[in-house]
Amino acid sequence: MGPTEAPRRRRRTGRRLRAVPAGLATGILVTGLVAAPAHGAGAGPGPSSGTAIGTTPRTVGDARYEPGPCPKTPEPIAALKGARCGTLTVPENRAAPGGRKISLGVAVVPAVSQRPKPDPVVWLAGGPGDDAVGEAQLAVDGGINRDRDLILMSQRGTYSADPVLTCPNIDEFAARSVGLVYDAPSTERLHVDATRTCRERSVAHGAELSAYDSTESATDYADLRLALGLPQWNVFGISYGTDLALIYLRDHPEGIRSVGIDGVLPPSTAGSALTWSSARQGFDGLFRACAQQPACARRYPDLPATFDHLVRKLEAEPVTTTVKVPGRAQPVKVVLDGGALVNWMTSATHVAAGVPLSLDELAHGNPRRIAEQWAGAKFSPQAIGRIAHGLAFGVFCREWVPFETEADTLRAGRAAFPTFPRSVQAQAPQLTFLHADCDAWKVPAAPRSVRDVTRSDVPTLVLSGGFDSQTGARSGEVAARTLSRATVVTIPYVAHVTYASSPCAQEITLSFLDAPTAPKTGCVSSVRPPAFDTGPRT
């Protein structure tokens, strides 16, 4: 929701997810540039005509696919070398098909195999607001195109779409906000001002904001399959992409051979309240792993109590420091209060080995390590100008916020962390000031049916991480209750989006694509915990 992102989101470098601006709802994916074997533009079997996927123009209903140059990306991506590319043009608002058209970038990465299977994999990115094309290296590094072509399409409003609703001003505010008290009324005013500016700029570009949501995006993918001439494909979604995948499966089940969802966010429960239970699950998983490792348990004998004490102490008396961050000549001011610490921790489970030492140093008066991570992630170039906030707020403000109250969020915070101060409990991890944001965004609520559960007998792989504090493992179990042929797997000691960092998750995913009703999951028993850092205090 990552789960990807007004402050709220997360990201990864190479095959590991980095701690990132927790104010921006789910995760920004920064992929490495390690090349994977790929064939030229004509390689691999395509649709029923025998042509390569992505090389034939086609119009289906109101949608048209046109081959062309590959979509833009913030930096070169080796995995896209040799990709077959183009654009899908669809109505911005399908209720008004004669109205404005928008275009979505498409890239087809050929399979490594010389004899690919006929059913490709389509990758649904997280966020809301991440661009799937920019996640090509992550997908390829995990081997997902071993035997099948990989299809990536930018969701509407994202970096390689037209229009682009990225709003860098929100990311720039998120960076500046590290020097502000996290949940102060003055911070909220500035935060919402950034959201309002984003809205004004998006409207000025002609965007119909209510058309940027999961229901429209799901229909975009249904149109893409037909426009590429594919009888069948496999769907794989990460973080918010699991929410989208489940809506797609519910609304457009035709032609879906299998579905993989990793870091699960069920549409029926998505929202601020869910983030509190997810944080509890991920934090507890990490704390238990430390307690079960003798050296960690001796060095940090009561880590949960230390964390709880720090949240309460910092909320009452915030710590202010300055740190150096890469790429900036001047030191950056950082304010650590209880809310900031909770949000740091939500992302820090991706670098779990260092968390106990970081908390211990903070408890002994040294905030440097946590402050550097908190500020460094938000000031990273990869955190600026890549998230489509126009899509993110469409999802939040049409599909999530109308169906839960601020009191619901507070109750969830109290249930998960009853000793935290009320000011911390009231601001959901990753989704700070979300109701105020949506008051400023001003789009109508989606029909209540957007919250319906997905019932399906399509084989589904449900992957979760034992350290996932962004979309806790229980959410995967909830989604699977109405998926009659679901395989539910929790990879221990792994944070949000297991495919990004776990060879076991990647192995299971490939096995699932080969045999969707009987994937091989034996590697789970061999996954080992991280060796927690027990170095000296500084």
Give me the pLDDT at residue 537, please: 55
Distance of CA 296 to the CA centre of its chain: 30
The four Cα atoms 340, 346, 347, 353 give a dihedral, to 10 degrees, of 110
Distances from the Cα of 281 to the Cα of 410, 431, 483, angstroms? 17, 17, 23
Mean pLDDT along residues 246-263: 98
Amino acid at site 287:
F
Token digits for 451?
A: 């919250």
Using the Cα atoms of residue 476, residue 481, residue 483 and residue 485 in order, give the sign of their dihedral. positive
Please say if the pLDDT value at position 364 is more than 70. Answer: yes
Please say if the pLDDT value at position 10 is more than 50. Answer: no
Mean pLDDT along residues 472-489: 98
H/E element holding 58? strand 58-60
User: Measured between alpha carbons, how far is 28 from 13 in angstroms, rounded to an integer?
Assistant: 10
For residue 189, the tally of other CB atoms under 10 A from its CB is: 11
The answer to whether 284 touches 466, Cβ cutoff 8 Å, is no
* Contacts of residue 327, Cβ cutoff 8 Å, sequence gap at least 6: 379, 380, 381
Nearest CA-CA partner of 46 in 108, 136, 137: 108
Reported as half-sphere exposure (CB side, CA atoms, 13 A), residue 501 has a value of: 28
Residue 246 pairs in a beta bridge with none
Give me the pLDDT at residue 329, please: 87
Using the Cα atoms of residue 119, residue 120, residue 126 and residue 128 in order, give the sign of their dihedral. negative
User: Measured between alpha carbons, how far is 387 from 166 in angstroms, rounded to an integer?
Assistant: 5
DSSP state of 374: H
What is the pTM (predicted TM-score) of this model? 0.91
First to last CA, the chain: 35
Nearest CA-CA partner of 262 in 514, 29, 13: 29
Nearest CA-CA partner of 103 in 120, 85, 121: 85
Distance of CA 186 to the CA centre of its chain: 28
Nearest CA-CA partner of 278 in 7, 40, 10, 6: 10
Please say if the pLDDT value at position 44 is more than 60. Answer: no
Mean pLDDT along residues 528-538: 85
User: Measured between alpha carbons, how far is 33 from 40 in angstroms, rounded to an integer?
Assistant: 18
Strands 63-67 and 84-91: antiparallel
The answer to whether 223 touches 107, Cβ cutoff 8 Å, is no
For 89-104, the pLDDT digits (tens) are 999 999 987 899 999 9
Please say if the pLDDT value at position 136 is more than 50. Answer: yes
The answer to whether 318 touches 374, Cβ cutoff 8 Å, is no
**DSSP states of 398-462 as a string?**
IIIGGGS-HHHHHHHHHHH-TTS-HHHHTS-TT-TTHHHHHHHH--PPPPGGGGPPP-B-S-EEE
535 three-class SS: coil
Please say if the pLDDT value at position 256 is more than 90. Answer: yes
Give me the pLDDT at residue 47, please: 54
Strands 233-238 and 121-124: parallel
Nearest CA-CA partner of 358 in 341, 343, 379: 341
Conformation bin of residue 362: beta by default, left when phi > 0, alpha when psi is -120 to 50: alpha
Give me the pLDDT at residue 96, please: 86
The answer to whether 469 touches 428, Cβ cutoff 8 Å, is no
Backbone dihedral angles phi then psi of residue 373, each to the nearest 5 degrees: -70, -45
Under the banding of pLDDT at 50, 70 and 90, the label for residue 71 is very high
Cis before 326? omega within 30: no
* Contacts of residue 158, Cβ cutoff 8 Å, sequence gap at least 6: 125, 127, 129, 130, 131, 132, 164, 165, 166, 388, 391
User: Measured between alpha carbons, how far is 32 from 446 in angstroms, rounded to an integer?
Assistant: 37
Please say if the pLDDT value at position 169 is more than 80. Answer: yes
Please say if the pLDDT value at position 2 is more than 50. Answer: no
Under the banding of pLDDT at 50, 70 and 90, the label for residue 210 is very high
Distances from the Cα of 237 to the Cα of 100, 240, 351, angstroms? 28, 8, 23
Token digits for 307?
A: 């964390």
The answer to whether 468 touches 495, Cβ cutoff 8 Å, is yes
Backbone dihedral angles phi then psi of residue 27, each to the nearest 5 degrees: -115, 135
Least confident of 26-40, 392-406, 480-494: 26-40
Conformation bin of residue 142: beta by default, left when phi > 0, alpha when psi is -120 to 50: alpha
User: Measured between alpha carbons, how far is 84 from 80 in angstroms, rounded to an integer?
Assistant: 8
E strands, 119-246, are 121-124, 150-153, 233-238
Mean pLDDT of the chain: 91
Cis before 67? omega within 30: no
